[in-house]
Structure 1
């Protein structure tokens, strides 16, 4: 574990459990581990507590830690399914939400789970009178949809005041789902005055996973990077990245630091896929067919359908920089960001080890 959470000097009731929804997920698993290492009782809401393969890494994290892990069955789309897990909790960390891009029905597969799931969790927080704070995993996608959002910003810089205004069901539907979900969260929060809502808005999350077979879209992107699909080049599209451990730390800090409020942009640096791949060349250039050059914009647009990308998206986004002001996350949450290269190397190390194990079998 590369971050330690010290709650001893904070006004924290260590006897009160903390609910983490979507607890087996990429980010959530690190949150659970951080809480357990700090000695917290964690109510981990998962789809099936009896699915050993899915919860094994959580059980491993609990072994030898000063904290306590309790597993609860939950269903994002079933109203009230988090009520049992939330009993006695002062803090709820809601991470459960779909992170996929290739879907058949954006409304059914992205928007409904994100919005209705968030509404279900927060309505339950209204019903459970011990809850004092809810931390929501949002995204930079709720702040910007594509470069057209960036062009209208002062200094072309994303801040906590920025909202995505360009995404829709037909244009970046994942970003649309994250925007609607966060707006719904603020709507529910502002209609009551007992618990406080805080959001964490990370960029593309990178770095190692705690589970052996991570299914996050982040790992799908990393797999594409090393698969050879882009060996002849990749479009230079800006992306904001951040290590999974910093994202987890930000959630725990947002949950317990007394003065935290509002939104928090959590981004280590802005880069692009070509730049990230080039940084991997010294360690992995001989092993994996990493992209080494940027594809000219006209070629990227022309061949977009063959690569699973949308021509309009490439026209709008190739050649734009992405800047984010992370002053608030550094000052209020105390996040210290590690270099993206380190995160990517650890991520590729994990994929390489998994590939070697599969080869042995």
Structure 2
């Protein structure tokens, strides 16, 4: 049965795949955008809708304008809230990250509570709300991170992006616990990779891959480990959370943990060795010196370089029925899409 779903952040790198998945499953998607007149930012989703059994409606709303989601949310039974800035190079973390993430969540969930029809909210959080630095795993005596863990080490000055995601998710749970109208299911993706549906994107994932392909890490990769998940698997997880009535709580999405060097090796294999990719590790002491050139400060180097990182993804496999696609396929498809759309620029 088709659901009416208000989706925030649906034009972004992750969000567009979620919208596509929902449309292809026959749902009615009420997409919110900041400026409806900028049709170039969502036209590609209308084209997808035209070829799908689902329907797309576009509304104007703003994370920081209280009540602006009230119109879009009318008659919806589900809300998928993805809109939240993912920026690593920030000058004012409170204004650029924390305020839109936190106040935006309050704004959207207030509208959900006003609309009596809403029965479920899907929040796109992050593993950044589960841990702040790779060193946390060792400091907490853990073998892996699970949904039980919370980030307690980030703040506005150290790891402001994880800090913003943690505050926003905690606020969502706080608001959830104060009412009985809607259930909350949270998706906590690790580093999202894979092809983009749009050329218009400032995704940090695409920027990271572009930097690697352009040879910025050729002299040596940082000894840094990420949990990685395919953007298409993230979309399926959201759709499963929408459709499965009994899905609630947090869900880590991570296919596997890989180092930057392993990412480079996967790209090398899948792209016929045509890029200047790193073949060795950059020493940690060197990163203290050159890190600032890449937006990496000494505190990040100290707490993340050289540490293992592992996530338990069993809940996503069991509850959301995610069958993670091979990591090399993710890398291959991402590089091919970026090549086709001329997104690797010097």
TM-score (normalised: structure 1): 0.92
In structure 2, the partner of 1:123 is: 110
CA drift at 1:357 = 10
Deviations 1:39-89 (A, max 9, x none): 111101112233221012101110121111101111111111111110000
SS of the counterpart of 1:109?
helix
Match of 2:267 in 1: 280
Counterparts of 1:132 and 1:167 in 2: how far apart (Å)? 32
Question: Which has the higher mean CA deviation after the structures are superposed, 303-312 or 99-108?
Answer: 303-312
Residue aligned with 2:258, SS: strand
Match of 1:159 in 2: 146
Match of 1:149 in 2: 136
Structure 2 distance, partners of 1:164, 1:215, is: 25
> Contact 1:148–1:166 (CA<8 Å) still a contact in 2?
no
Distance 2:255 2:140 in 1: 20
Aligned to 2:328: 341
The total of aligned residue pairs comes to: 346
2:182 paired with 1:195: yes
Could you say which residue in structure 1 is the equivalent of 2:126?
139
Q: Which residue in 1 is equivalent to 2:278?
A: 291
Q: Which residue of 2 aligns with 1:313?
A: 300
1:54 matched residue in structure 2: 41
CA distance in 1 between partners of 2:157 and 2:106 (Å):
23
Q: Distance in 2 between matches of 1:212 and 1:263?
A: 31
The answer to whether the 8 Å contact 2:268/2:274 transfers is no
1:26 counterpart residue number: 13
Out of 56, 64, 67, the position equivalent to 2:51 is: 64
Moved more, 247-256 or 175-184: 247-256
Cα distance, 1:329 vs. partner? Answer: 0.5
- Superposition deviation, residue 154 in structure 1: 5.0
Q: Give 1:284 shift.
A: 2.9
Task: Say whether 1:88 aligns with 2:49.
Answer: no
Shift of 1:286: 4.0
Q: Shift of the alpha carbon at 1:188?
A: 0.5
CA-to-aligned-CA distance 1:86-136 (integer Å, 9 cap, x gap): 000000000000011101100000000000000000011111000000000
RMSD: 1.6
Helix, strand or coil at the partner of 2:37 = coil
- In 1, Cα distance between the equivalents of 2:237 and 2:19? 13
Query: Which stretches in structure 1 are left out of the alignment for 5+ residues?
Result: 1-12
- Normalising by structure 2, what TM-score? 0.96
Distance 2:136 2:24 in 1: 40
Gaps of 5+ in 2: none
* 1:100 and 2:74 correspond: no
Change (3 A) 1:60 1:357: farther
- Deviation >4 Å, runs of 4+: 356-359
Distance 1:49 1:204 in 2: 30
Say if 1:175 and 1:356 are closer, same or farther in 2 by CA, change over 3 A: closer
Corresponding position: 1:218 with 2:236: no
SS of alignment partner, residue 71 of structure 1: strand
Q: Deviations over 1:193-239 (max 9, x none)?
A: 11001100000110011113332111111111112211111111111
Partner secondary structure for residue 126 of structure 1: helix
Q: CA deviation at 1:153?
A: 4.0
Cα separation, 1, equivalents of 2:342 and 2:277: 16
1:145 to partner: Cα distance: 0.4
Aligned-residue offset at 1:345? 1.3
